[in-house]
A and B are shown apart, each in its own frame.
Chain A
Amino acid sequence: MFIRLENVFYSYFQHTPFEVQALKNITLTINRGESIGIIGRTGCGKSTLIQHFNALLIATQGSVLIDGEKIQKKSSQLKNIRRKIGLVFQYPEHQIFEETVFDEVGFGPRNIGISGQKLEETVKWALESVGLDYQDIHKKNPFELSGGQMRRVAIASILSMRPEALVLDEPTAGLDPEGKRLILKKLKTLREENGTTLVLVSHSMDDLAMIAERIIVMDQGTIGLDSSVRKIFSQGKTLEYYGIKPPTTTRIAELLQEKGFDIGNGILTAQELSERIAEKILKAGKH
């Protein structure tokens, strides 16, 4: 039990006439090493939820526990939690401020007293983890990089704190397909090699089909569904009920089924889809 939320409520503008309840009675466990996608229509509470994972927001009611320790508003504890759990905001490149890539990525570690050889190693590791070449890039001005490169520098500057979990809000938004594929691939590798827990908020079901093993569907501040990615993505109609456009593979499987061409469900990628269709064609025996 790594991150645990127990009966968490959160309200914006509490005790004012503008109070909005954004989270309602959320109970949730995230285990070490999991890869989780959080989905739901805009305004359902996804971003509010993930900001509780590293205590950027403190529950107005209920408790959040990290490694069994309850979050309170003690600054020593918060520092520790934020090192453990790195949060990457939407369009994180808007928050870049240093003049070289090295200083940007090294900012966090330097603040906690890492310097010299150790700092260089850390920055190098973080940049390489997101697929950037250290020699090529560390002296460059981040503002002269392409959108995809800036995004990766911004992610590296969170990674350089060597967090145990990486929580990302729409990490591929606005990127071209190539930049998107690269980031997803690097996150996958990071998890495989370091056991980093991944939590991704995303509107792209096709992206999540590639990387997530578990999906949490948020709906009006509550958890609507929480299950394996295959189970969730095999229910096209249910997803539509929650305002989510099912992945293309799910839609194709359902269209085929309507025509009496049943290839089953829970299909995640074009590769899997084509294999299931091929089996069916061969079984039909005409080819």
Chain B
Amino acid sequence: MIEFRGVSFWFTEDETLIEKKDEVLHNIELVIPKGEFVVLLGRNGSGKSTLAKHCNGLLLPKKGEVIVDGKSTHQSEYLWDIRQKVGFVFQNPDNQIIATTVEEDVAFGPENLGVPQDEIRKRIDQALGIVGMKDFRKKEPHLLSGGQKQRVAIAGVLAMQPEYIVLDEATSMLDPEGRSEIMSLISQLRGSITIFHITHYIEEAVDADRVIIMDQGQIVAQGKPSDIFNQRERIYEWGLELPVVSETAWILRRRFPELFPFLPLRAEELVAALCSFV
């Protein structure tokens, strides 16, 4: 469980906040239980990346604390442990690959943990198998597509055998193919590992266990995807937008109020509702 208790953060060096507008996170209270697939949405500058970087102590709260399985990120003796538990995938696929072959890149984490060679080999096999990159183990990472690079980055995280994975806008620089590769990898991993996915593509939140919305450094809503997406006006206030499917249904509902008691999120749901209506 990752817990945020009254977390506030600002980027200036001062320990006391000088101006309220400098506050990037304001009094965040949040619990991410083990096993959940949580999606965090919010406009550019809403604080979602800053929040993500608190999960494994990349940033430390200026006020309040973040506790991972009972250990506070403020205590530096726990940080090593916490970072092994909470894997992190960054936005830019080109900034997080360090080795000259795919398998060496995946081995980097476990090697640093002092994992024995045989075990490392096993972990590389397993991690590359999960992300579907086994055939690329001897390849040079810079020759891969964006989606493939992100899958290698995820394999590197998996080889550390973490309990949580934080994906900090890991899909935002990818083309649609790369994005769907990562999303299907997430649906394959969910359940066995806690996933905290930060994005502004609302479509990527449709299958989440829970959606959290941030705006101006605060959590402004959380709940099941269908409950959140039914609040159309607020979605736009938060700088987001409804998926085309839900938007179409919303327009139709104004004319046929009994057509959609709940706005559908997936094309198949929209089509099924229409077919039973006529």
Q: Do A256 and B271 contact each other (CB < 8 Å), given the known contacts A175-B44, A281-B277?
A: yes
Which of B172, B241, B247, B248 has the most A CB atoms < 10 Å from its CB? B248
Are A174 and B278 CB-contacts (below 8 A) given A146-B44, A147-B45, A252-B248?
no
Q: Does A137 contact B (CB under 8 A)?
A: no
Q: Note all chain A residues with C-beta closer than 8 A to B173.
A: 173-174
CB pair B45 A278 closer than 8 Å: no
Q: Which of A1-9, A28-36, A156-164, A241-249 contacts B (4 or more CB under 8 A)?
A: A241-249
- Interface members, chain A 94-136 (any B CB < 8 Å): none
Q: Which of B107-115, B151-159, B249-257 contacts A (4 or more CB under 8 A)?
A: B249-257
Q: Is A261 an interface residue, CB under 8 A from the partner?
A: yes
Q: Does A73 contact B (CB under 8 A)?
A: no
Q: How far does the Cβ of A47 sit from chain B's closest Cβ, in whole Å? A: 12
Interface residue SS majority, chain A: helix
Q: Is the CB of A177 within 8 A of B240?
A: yes
Task: Give 1 or 0 for each of A37-73: 1 = CB within 8 Å of chain B CB.
Answer: 0000111000000000000000000000000000000
Contact between A281 and B176, CB atoms less than 8 A apart: no
Q: Does the CB pair A261–B177 fall under 8 Å?
A: no
Are A255 and B176 closer than 8 Å at their CB atoms?
no
* Residue in A176, A245, A274 with the greatest tally of chain B CB atoms within 10 Å: A176
Query: Do B244 and A280 touch (CB < 8 A)?
Result: no
Contacts of A249 in B (CB 8 A): 244, 248
B175 touches A284 (CB 8 A): no
Say if the beta carbon of A225 comes within 8 Å of chain B. Answer: no
Which listed residue (B172, B177, B240, B275) contacts A42, Cβ 8 A?
B177
A148 within 8 A of B: yes
Contact check, B278 vs A280: say whether CB atoms are below 8 A apart.
yes
Count of interface residues, chain B, beta-carbon cutoff 8 Å? 35
List of A residues within 8 angstroms of B243 by Cβ: 248
CB distance from B203 to the nearest CB of A (A): 9
Assess whether A176 is in contact with B145, with CB atoms less than 8 Å apart. Answer: no
Cα-based distance from A259 to B247 in the complex (angstroms): 21
A278 and B252 in contact, given A252-B245, A259-B271 (Cβ under 8 angstroms) = yes
The yes or no answer to A187 lying at the interface (CB within 8 A) is no
Q: Are A203 and B44 in contact, with the CB atoms below 8 A?
A: no
**A273–B248 contact, CB under 8 A?**
yes
**Closest Cβ neighbor of A243 among chain B residues:** B177
Q: Which chain B positions have C-beta within 8 A of A261?
A: 271, 274-275, 278
Taking CB atoms and an 8 Å cut-off, the chain B residues in 170-209 that contact chain A are 172-173, 175-178, 180, 200, 202
Interface residues on A, range: 35 or more
Shortest Cβ distance from A148 into B: residue: B44
Q: Name A285's closest neighbour in chain B (CB-CB).
A: B278
Select one of A147, A177, A243, A255 contacting B267, CB under 8 A.
A255
Say yes or no: is A195 at the interface (Cβ < 8 Å to chain B).
Answer: no
List residues of A whose CB falls within 8 A of some B CB.
41-43, 146-148, 173-179, 181, 203-204, 206, 243-245, 247-249, 251-252, 255-256, 259, 261, 270-271, 273-274, 277-278, 280-281, 284, 286-287
Residues on B lying within 8 angstroms of A by beta carbon are 42-45, 145-146, 172-173, 175-178, 180, 200, 202, 239-241, 243-245, 247-248, 251-252, 255-256, 267-268, 270-271, 274-275, 277-278
* A176-B43, A177-B200 known, 5 other contacts, Cβ within 8 Å: A203-B176, A252-B244, A252-B267, A271-B251, A278-B255
Contact sample, A vs B, 27 pairs, CB 8 Å cutoff: A42-B175, A42-B177, A42-B178, A146-B44, A147-B45, A176-B43, A177-B43, A177-B202, A177-B240, A178-B241, A179-B43, A179-B239, A203-B176, A204-B176, A243-B177, A248-B243, A248-B244, A248-B267, A255-B267, A261-B275, A261-B278, A270-B247, A274-B251, A281-B274, A286-B278, A287-B256, A287-B278
